[in-house]
Chains A and B, each alone.
Chain A
């Protein structure tokens, strides 16, 4: 297809055979990545929980991360009353980041977020949290009024704006929250697979050919780029969760 070589179909790129169990409840590479990411997130929470005056090791990382999430995300999007959401957003950030970073770790090289199940679960979790805290903050009718009615519009325009707000807040918002993370990581994974396939085809033609500039260097360059993307997408996912919580519990009157 590309220069006459066979690109693996999408199912070969993201589907992994199960080590144990069947199709529904089995454990494959992606599930192992879930477990590892969850374990690493828990480790950071446990090891970072020391309260020494002079931080060492994991406490350093935890303090930097808490500061980053609290000052960079919570304060900007929710405000001072959002401090109680910091642990949630921090665990979102670390879990998504660890799931992403396995994209470029040698031997594993599979981002768990390139299967839509995980981003969808996380987005629905955030959906329940932000609408739940909105209902808690404003009361059931108050929250629906707060979410759907834009203040200060002429009366007739409400017939147009309320359906638009409903579709965007309750239907499109979790969908785009999911797809943003999923598609970015899937795209990155496919990019790496494409150039790795090209390199291996050149290697098969003759070991000297693999140093031909484009594919081999592109693998290296895109690996560095994907490191940036994994961090940025974890940040964006957390930032958007913060923005949605902030929009749900704000009082603009």
Chain B
């Protein structure tokens, strides 16, 4: 089903696009939230176990966060495009 059909049905059902966009952004934030939590948790564990490797782990952690976070941020931009 295409997006426009979905939007028409939502309009017919009395749901406005803003609410849908906000809901979709919320759904889109779940995955990156879990991802970043897991990633940082594991990195902290690695740094606690091997403090001498902390610098390397931190750089890689920020890199991973940047990649995971991009999904949430694209959701944020789509939220503005859709509403």
Contacts and interface: CB of A to CB of B under 8 A. Distances in A.
Contacts of A73: 59
A179 interface: yes
Interface residues of B, number: 15
A76 interface: yes
B74 A236 contact: no
A17 interface: no
Interface string A155-186: 00000000000000000000010011011101
Contacts of B48: none
Main secondary structure, interface of A, reads: helix
A10 interface: yes
Q: How large is the interface on A (under 10, 10 to 19, 20 to 34, 35 or more residues)?
A: 10 to 19
A239 B66 contact: yes
B63 A239 contact: yes
B62 A10 contact: no
A179 B66 CA distance: 11
Contacts of A182: 77
A76 B76 contact: no
A184 B63 contact: no
A72 interface: yes
A184 B72 CA distance: 10
B56 interface: yes
Interface centre among A10, A77, A180, A235 (most CB of B within 10 A): A180
B74 A176 contact: yes
A243 B59 CA distance: 11
A10 B73 contact: no
B36 to A, nearest CB: 13
B19 to A, nearest CB: 12
A232 B67 CA distance: 14
Interface in A67-121: 72-73, 76-77
Contact of A243 (B56, B63, B74): B63
Interface of B: 55-56, 59, 62-63, 65-67, 69-70, 73-74, 76-77, 80
19 contacts: A72-B55, A77-B59, A176-B67, A176-B70, A179-B73, A179-B77, A180-B66, A180-B70, A183-B73, A183-B74, A183-B76, A184-B69, A187-B73, A232-B62, A235-B62, A239-B62, A239-B63, A240-B63, A240-B66
Q: Nearest 10 A-B pairs (CB), nearest first?
A: A183-B73, A176-B70, A236-B66, A76-B59, A183-B76, A180-B70, A183-B77, A179-B73, A180-B73, A179-B74
Interface of A: 10, 72-73, 76-77, 176, 179-180, 182-184, 186-187, 232, 235-236, 239-240, 243
